[in-house]
């Protein structure tokens, strides 16, 4: 189980890495979404916003979510540090999403471009 | 009589049975869709294993060849492994050979020129065709991010496709295939995003997977050429009514349908007569030439 701070660190690292990647920023400039990231074992929600190619993160559930990602904190930190593709836990049911399946493919693409 | 069956994750509405003579041998070539149900496809492959000469696997790939990289689609590989006696082919060998030569033929006929603007809706699954267009100096837009992932960003270089292949090499082993490519009824569903219509409109020629082209095709594509595979009467009608000038299908016409590359590759493999693991590109090329396969052109006269 990750700590709350580790959860926040993984999202901030993800957002920062997106910002530093100009090409990725251009690729996702039209993918504007609000994502709520729910860590089931921490009873914690964080928000990830993609807007005009810029990715930011904030604590708490901010705004209306286009997609809710729900998993335990270990899985979520691994996903946002690029250690695991979100498709894998999504496939075996340990990561659940509410929202369009297409968005999990886009999120996976962003992670692939950043970390792989 | 040789019996070759394509088991496809595509819609059953595209099913057919044809007889054809290839290299002096009579063949029954059939296609059985499973409406996207992988369990049904698996059961059908098991039922056919050892009873037919070769099995094609349609609507999903097993291998993608991108430059020097071989990518494995996990879902496709697992389906193919349902057969233990009969070889299962996904068409990747033909894509890497026949589809290149079809582009060469189009250049020779003048339909493709060195400055032609090409939209390949997806190049990761047809890198051979992409390389052929680039070799002839065409200006290519590869729509992998646009039409497969839904991000409005055009790739224009083969090296970008190779980079994408590298990024996805591990992921393709575990990603559910339906997330990346429409299967079953989703193949018939239009999903044309008006934002992406400009990619079709800017191109002289639209190339790649027929389902993907049709799924994202805007209402009008007047005067455009199409280079694709697996066309049926219905898809040809859709291209004609949208104003396409011509359609080149990369596999030969079998009395009104062009079989998928998987079906035709499965047929060729029975002629090559080697274990699949020993078959080389030259074997495909030899039989493509011997059978005189050069794709199949339909000119609608729309300009």
Q: Tokens standing for A4?
A: 């709350």
The pLDDT of residue B140? 98
The pLDDT of residue B186? 67
Q: Is residue A88 very low, low, confident or very high in pLDDT (cuts 50, 70, 90)?
A: confident
Domain boundaries, chain A: 4-110
**Strand runs labelled E in B149-249:** 205-207, 225-228, 246-249
pLDDT tens for each residue of B215-230? 999 999 999 999 998 7
- Rounded to an integer, the average pLDDT of A88-112 is 90
The pLDDT of residue B187? 66
pLDDT tens for each residue of B103-142? 999 999 999 999 999 999 999 999 999 999 999 999 999 9
- Rounded to an integer, the average pLDDT of B22-36 is 94
The pLDDT of residue B30? 96
Alpha carbons A71 and B165: distance in angstroms, whole number: 28
> In sequence order, which residues have a C-beta less than 8 Å from that of residue B183 and are 6 or more positions away?
B9, B10, B36, B59, B60, B177
Q: Tokens standing for B168?
A: 């996805």
Fold of B98-252: Rossmann fold (3.40.50)
Minimal Cβ distance to B151: which of A85, A101, A109? A109
Q: Is the pLDDT of residue A43 over 90?
A: no
Q: Do B151 and A104 touch (CB under 8 A)?
A: no
Mutate to test the interface with A, among B143, B179, B181, B195 (most CBs of A within 10 A): B179
Q: Does residue B85 belong to the interface with chain A, where contact is any CB pair within 8 Å?
A: no
Q: Does residue B151 belong to the interface with chain A, where contact is any CB pair within 8 Å?
A: yes
Alpha carbons B72 and B75: distance in angstroms, whole number: 9
With 0-12 / 13-18 / 19 or more C-beta atoms within 10 angstroms meaning exposed / middle / buried, residue B174 is middle
- Rounded to an integer, the average pLDDT of A33-44 is 95
pLDDT tens for each residue of B45-75? 999 999 999 999 999 999 999 999 999 999 9
Average pLDDT, chain A: 93
Q: Identify the bridge partners of residue B19 per DSSP, sorted by sequence position.
A: B28
Which percentage of chain A shows pLDDT scores above 70?
99
Q: Is the pLDDT of residue B302 over 80?
A: no
Closest approach of chain A CAs to the CA of B22, in angstroms? Answer: 42
Q: Is residue B231 very low, low, confident or very high in pLDDT (cuts 50, 70, 90)?
A: confident
Question: Which of B165, B176, B141 has the alpha carbon at shortest distance from B155?
Answer: B141
Residue B155 DSSP label? B
Question: How many other CB atoms are there within 10 angstroms of residue B244's CB atom?
Answer: 25
Average pLDDT, chain B: 92
Fold of A4-110: Nonspecific Lipid-transfer Protein; Chain A (3.30.1050)
Q: Is residue B295 very low, low, confident or very high in pLDDT (cuts 50, 70, 90)?
A: confident
Lowest mean pLDDT among A42-51, B80-89, B175-184: B175-184
Instruction: Report the largest interatomic distance among the alpha carbons of chain A, rounded to a whole angstrom.
Output: 35
Residues from A in contact with B at Cβ < 8 Å: 26-31, 85, 87-88, 90-91, 101-102, 104-106, 108-109, 112-113, 116
Q: Is residue A104 very low, low, confident or very high in pLDDT (cuts 50, 70, 90)?
A: confident
Q: Is the pLDDT of residue A15 over 90?
A: yes
pLDDT tens for each residue of B242-263? 999 999 998 887 777 778 899 9
What ipTM was estimated for this complex?
Answer: 0.88
The pLDDT of residue B191? 77
Minimal Cβ distance to B176: which of A28, A87, A116? A87
Minimal Cβ distance to A106: which of B151, B170, B195? B151
Q: Tokens standing for B173?
A: 């082993």
């Amino acid at each position: 189980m990750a700590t709350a701070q580790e959860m926040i660190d993984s999202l901030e690292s993800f957002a920062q890495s997106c910002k530093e990647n100009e090409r990725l920023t251009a690729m996702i400039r039209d993918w504007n979404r609000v994502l709520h990231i729910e860590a089931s074992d921490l009873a914690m929600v964080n928000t990830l916003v993609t807007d005009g190619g810029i990715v930011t993160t904030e604590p708490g559930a901010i705004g209306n979510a286009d997609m809710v990602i729900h998993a335990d904190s270990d899985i979520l930190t691994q996903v946002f540090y690029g250690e695991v593709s979100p498709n894998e836990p999504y496939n075996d049911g340990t990561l659940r999403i509410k929202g369009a399946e297409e968005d999990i493919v886009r999120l996976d693409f962003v992670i692939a471009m950043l970390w792989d | 009589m040789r019996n070759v069956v394509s088991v496809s994750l595509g819609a059953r509405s595209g099913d057919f049975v044809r007889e054809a003579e290839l290299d002096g041998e009579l063949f029954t070539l059939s296609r059985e869709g499973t409406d996207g149900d992988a369990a049904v496809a698996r059961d059908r492959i098991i039922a056919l294993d050892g009873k037919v000469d070769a099995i094609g696997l349609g609507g999903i790939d097993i291998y993608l060849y991108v430059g020097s990289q071989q990518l494995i689609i996990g879902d496709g590989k697992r389906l193919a492994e349902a057969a233990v006696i009969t070889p299962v082919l996904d068409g990747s060998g033909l894509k890497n050979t026949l589809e290149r030569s079809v582009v060469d033929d189009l250049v020779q006929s003048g339909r493709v020129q060195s400055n032609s603007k090409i939209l390949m809706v997806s190049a990761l699954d047809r890198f051979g065709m992409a390389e052929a267009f680039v070799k002839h100096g065409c200006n290519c837009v590869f729509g992998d991010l646009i039409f497969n992932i839904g991000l409005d960003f055009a790739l224009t270089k083969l090296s970008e496709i190779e980079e994408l292949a590298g990024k996805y090499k591990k992921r393709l082993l575990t990603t559910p295939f339906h997330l990346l490519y429409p299967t079953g009824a989703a193949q018939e569903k239009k999903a044309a995003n008006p934002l992406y219509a400009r990619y079709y409109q800017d191109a002289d020629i639209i190339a790649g997977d027929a389902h993907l082209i049709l799924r994202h095709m805007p209402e009008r594509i007047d005067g455009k050429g199409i280079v694709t595979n697996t066309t049926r009467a219905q898809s040809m009608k859709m291209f004609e009514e949208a104003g396409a000038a011509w359609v080149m299908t990369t596999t030969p016409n079998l009395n009104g349908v062009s079989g998928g590359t998987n079906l035709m590759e499965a047929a060729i493999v029975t002629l090559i007569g080697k274990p699949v693991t020993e078959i080389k590109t030259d074997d495909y090329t030899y039989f493509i030439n011997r059978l005189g396969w050069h794709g199949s052109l339909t000119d609608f006269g729309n300009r």
